[in-house]
Chain A
Amino acid sequence: MATAVQPVEQTNYLNADYGIKSWLLTTDHKRIAMLYLISISVFFWIGGLFAMLVRLELLTPAGDLMQADTYNKAFTMHGITMVFFFLIPSVPAVLGNFLVPLMIGAKDLAFPRINLLSWYIYVVAGCLWLYTIITGGVDTGWTFYTPLSTAFSNTHVITGALSVFIAGFSSIFTGLNFIVTIHRMRAPGMTWQRLPLFLWSNYAAAVIMVLGTPVLAITLLLVALERAFNIGVFNPALGGDPLLFQHLFWFYSHPAVYIMILPGMGVVSEIVACFSRKRVFGYNAVALASIGIAVLGFLVWAHHMFVAGISLYAALVFSLLSFFVAIPSAIKVFNWTATMYKGSIRFDTPMLYALGFIGLFTIGGLTGLFLACLGVDVHVHDTYFIIAHFHYIMVGGMVMAYMGGLHFWWPKISGKLYPEAWAKLSAMFVFFGFNLTFFPQFVLGYMGMPRRYQSYPPEFQVLNVLSTAGASVLAVGYVLPMIYFLWSLRYGQNAPPNPWNAAGLEWKAASPPPTFNFDVTPVVTWEAYNYDELDKPQEVPIAR
Chain B
Amino acid sequence: MWSNLPLFPPAASKMAHQVDYLYFFLVGTTAFFTILIVAMVCFFAWRYRRKKNPVATQIEGSMALEMTWTLIPTAIAMFIFAWGAALYFAETRPPRNAMEVYAVGKQWMWKFQHQEGQREINVLHVPVDRDVRMIMTSQDVIHSFFVPAFRIKADVLPGRYTSTWFHATVPGTYHLFCSQYCGTQHSGMVGEVVVMEPAAYQQWAASGSDGSLASEGEKAFMQYGCSMCHRADYQGRGPNLVGLFGKPVLLDDGRTVIADESYLRESIIYPGAKIASGFKNIMPNFQGQISEEELISLVAYIKGLGTGQSNPPATMAEPTAVYPVGPQPEKSQATPSGK
Chain A residues with a Cβ under 8 A of chain B: 63, 68-69, 72, 139, 141, 143, 145, 147-148, 151-153, 236-237, 242-243, 276-279, 281-285, 306-309, 312, 315-316, 319-320, 323-324, 326-327, 330-331, 333-335, 337-338, 340-347, 355, 358-359, 362-363, 366-367, 369-370, 372-379, 381-383, 443, 446-448, 450-459, 461-463, 531-532, 535, 541-542, 544
Which B residue's beta carbon lies closest to that of A536? Answer: B55
Residues in A neighbouring B44, C-beta threshold 8 A: 337, 340-341, 343, 345
The 9 sampled A-B contact pairs (Cβ below 8 Å) are: A145-B142, A285-B61, A307-B153, A320-B81, A323-B81, A337-B37, A458-B4, A462-B1, A542-B50
B156 to chain A, nearest CB (A): 9
Contact check, A344 vs B157: say whether CB atoms are below 8 A apart: no
A501 to chain B, nearest CB (A): 12
Q: From B81, B92, B158, give the contact of A319 (CB < 8 A).
A: B81
A403 to chain B, nearest CB (A): 18
State whether A148 and B142 are in contact (beta carbons under 8 Å apart), knowing that A341-B48, A342-B53, A344-B50 are contacts in the complex.
Answer: yes
Interface centre among B81, B92, B182 (most CB of A within 10 A): B81
B91 at the interface (CB under 8 A from A): yes
Chain B 190-221, CB within 8 Å of chain A: the 1/0 string? Answer: 00000000000000000000000000000000
A462 to B51 alpha-carbon distance, docked (Å): 44
B178 at the interface (CB under 8 A from A): yes
Q: From B2, B4, B141, B152, give the contact of A378 (CB < 8 A).
A: B152
Contact check, B56 vs A535: say whether CB atoms are below 8 A apart: yes
Contact check, A69 vs B184: say whether CB atoms are below 8 A apart: yes
Surface stretch bound by A, among B65-73, B95-103, B327-335: B65-73
Residues in A neighbouring B18, C-beta threshold 8 A: 375
Q: From A147, A355, A452, give the contact of B186 (CB < 8 A).
A: A452
B180 at the interface (CB under 8 A from A): yes
B224 at the interface (CB under 8 A from A): no
B19 at the interface (CB under 8 A from A): yes
Residues in A neighbouring B7, C-beta threshold 8 A: 443, 447
Interface centre among A243, A453, A531, A535 (most CB of B within 10 A): A453
For chain A, what secondary structure do more than half of its interface residues adopt (helix, strand, loop), or is it mixed?
helix
Interface centre among A285, A450, A455, A458 (most CB of B within 10 A): A450
Contact check, A148 vs B183: say whether CB atoms are below 8 A apart: yes
Q: From A139, A152, A343, A459, give the contact of B5 (CB < 8 A).
A: A459
B129 at the interface (CB under 8 A from A): no
State whether A344 and B66 are in contact (beta carbons under 8 Å apart), knowing that A375-B88, A446-B23, A448-B175 are contacts in the complex.
Answer: no
B290 at the interface (CB under 8 A from A): no
A63 to B108 alpha-carbon distance, docked (Å): 16
A330 to B32 alpha-carbon distance, docked (Å): 14
Contact check, B187 vs A331: say whether CB atoms are below 8 A apart: no
- Of all A-B residue pairs in the complex, the 4 with the closest CB atoms, nearest first, are A448-B148, A375-B87, A236-B159, A541-B54
Contact check, A334 vs B69: say whether CB atoms are below 8 A apart: yes
Contact check, B69 vs A141: say whether CB atoms are below 8 A apart: no
Contact check, A277 vs B80: say whether CB atoms are below 8 A apart: no
Contact check, A542 vs B175: say whether CB atoms are below 8 A apart: no
Residues in B neighbouring A237, C-beta threshold 8 A: 158-159, 287
Q: From A355, A363, A443, A453, give the contact of B45 (CB < 8 A).
A: A355
Residues in A neighbouring B8, C-beta threshold 8 A: 446-447
Contact check, A345 vs B89: say whether CB atoms are below 8 A apart: no
Which B residue's beta carbon lies closest to that of A334? Answer: B69
Residues in B neighbouring A316, C-beta threshold 8 A: 85, 88
Which A residue's beta carbon lies closest to that of B89? Answer: A312
Contact check, B78 vs A532: say whether CB atoms are below 8 A apart: no
A544 to B184 alpha-carbon distance, docked (Å): 58
A316 to B83 alpha-carbon distance, docked (Å): 11
B253 at the interface (CB under 8 A from A): no
Q: Told that A279-B58, A327-B77 touch, could you supply 10 new A-B pairs with CB distance under 8 A?
A: A148-B181, A237-B159, A278-B58, A320-B81, A331-B69, A333-B37, A376-B87, A382-B153, A448-B175, A457-B175
State whether A535 and B55 are in contact (beta carbons under 8 Å apart), knowing that A373-B26, A374-B87 are contacts in the complex.
Answer: yes
Q: From B53, B66, B80, B152, give the contact of A373 (CB < 8 A).
A: B80
State whether A363 and B30 are in contact (beta carbons under 8 Å apart), knowing that A147-B158, A277-B56, A379-B152 are contacts in the complex.
Answer: yes
Contact check, B181 vs A451: say whether CB atoms are below 8 A apart: yes
Contact check, A152 vs B140: say whether CB atoms are below 8 A apart: yes
Chain B residues with a Cβ under 8 A of chain A: 1-2, 4-9, 18-19, 22-23, 26, 29-30, 33-34, 37-38, 40-41, 44-45, 48-51, 53-62, 65-66, 69-70, 73-74, 77-78, 80-81, 83-93, 107, 140-142, 144, 146, 148-149, 151-155, 157-160, 162, 175, 177-188, 287
A277 to B49 alpha-carbon distance, docked (Å): 11
State whether A330 and B69 are in contact (beta carbons under 8 Å apart), knowing that A382-B153, A446-B23 are contacts in the complex.
Answer: yes
State whether A340 and B188 are in contact (beta carbons under 8 Å apart), knowing that A141-B181, A237-B158, A307-B153 are contacts in the complex.
Answer: no
Residues in B neighbouring A315, C-beta threshold 8 A: 88
Contact check, B151 vs A345: say whether CB atoms are below 8 A apart: no
Residues in A neighbouring B73, C-beta threshold 8 A: 326-327, 330
Residues in A neighbouring B90, C-beta threshold 8 A: 375
State whether A378 and B151 are in contact (beta carbons under 8 Å apart), knowing that A340-B41, A369-B77, A541-B54 are contacts in the complex.
Answer: yes
Residues in A neighbouring B182, C-beta threshold 8 A: 148
Residues in A neighbouring B51, C-beta threshold 8 A: 544
Residues in B neighbouring A331, C-beta threshold 8 A: 66, 69-70
Contact check, B66 vs A309: say whether CB atoms are below 8 A apart: no
A529 to chain B, nearest CB (A): 9
State whether A285 and B66 are in contact (beta carbons under 8 Å apart), knowing that A139-B183, A450-B179 are contacts in the complex.
Answer: yes
A287 to chain B, nearest CB (A): 11
Which A residue's beta carbon lies closest to that of B54? Answer: A541
A157 to chain B, nearest CB (A): 12
Q: From A141, A152, A363, A452, give the contact of B187 (CB < 8 A).
A: A452
State whether A367 and B65 are in contact (beta carbons under 8 Å apart), knowing that A343-B53, A376-B22 are contacts in the complex.
Answer: no
Contact check, A309 vs B2: say whether CB atoms are below 8 A apart: no
A147 to B139 alpha-carbon distance, docked (Å): 11
Residues in A neighbouring B2, C-beta threshold 8 A: 462
Contact check, B23 vs A376: say whether CB atoms are below 8 A apart: yes
Residues in B neighbouring A535, C-beta threshold 8 A: 55-56
Contact check, A309 vs B184: say whether CB atoms are below 8 A apart: no
Residues in A neighbouring B149, C-beta threshold 8 A: 448
Residues in B neighbouring A72, C-beta threshold 8 A: 181, 183-184, 186
Which A residue's beta carbon lies closest to that of B148? Answer: A448
State whether A340 and B61 are in contact (beta carbons under 8 Å apart), knowing that A307-B144, A375-B19 are contacts in the complex.
Answer: no
A520 to chain B, nearest CB (A): 29
Contact check, A282 vs B62: say whether CB atoms are below 8 A apart: yes
Contact check, A447 vs B6: say whether CB atoms are below 8 A apart: yes
A87 to chain B, nearest CB (A): 20
Residues in B neighbouring A457, C-beta threshold 8 A: 175
A440 to chain B, nearest CB (A): 10
Contact check, A236 vs B158: say whether CB atoms are below 8 A apart: yes
Interface centre among A237, A366, A377, A378 (most CB of B within 10 A): A378
A194 to chain B, nearest CB (A): 14
Contact check, B54 vs A454: say whether CB atoms are below 8 A apart: no
A283 to B58 alpha-carbon distance, docked (Å): 13
Residues in A neighbouring B54, C-beta threshold 8 A: 344, 541-542
Contact check, B65 vs A308: say whether CB atoms are below 8 A apart: no
State whether A379 and B153 are in contact (beta carbons under 8 Å apart), knowing that A152-B183, A236-B158, A344-B56 are contacts in the complex.
Answer: yes
A375 to B162 alpha-carbon distance, docked (Å): 18
Residues in A neighbouring B78, C-beta threshold 8 A: 323
Residues in B neighbouring A281, C-beta threshold 8 A: 59-62
Q: From B29, B53, B57, B141, give the contact of A369 (CB < 8 A).
A: B29
Q: From B80, B88, B146, give the contact of A448 (CB < 8 A).
A: B146
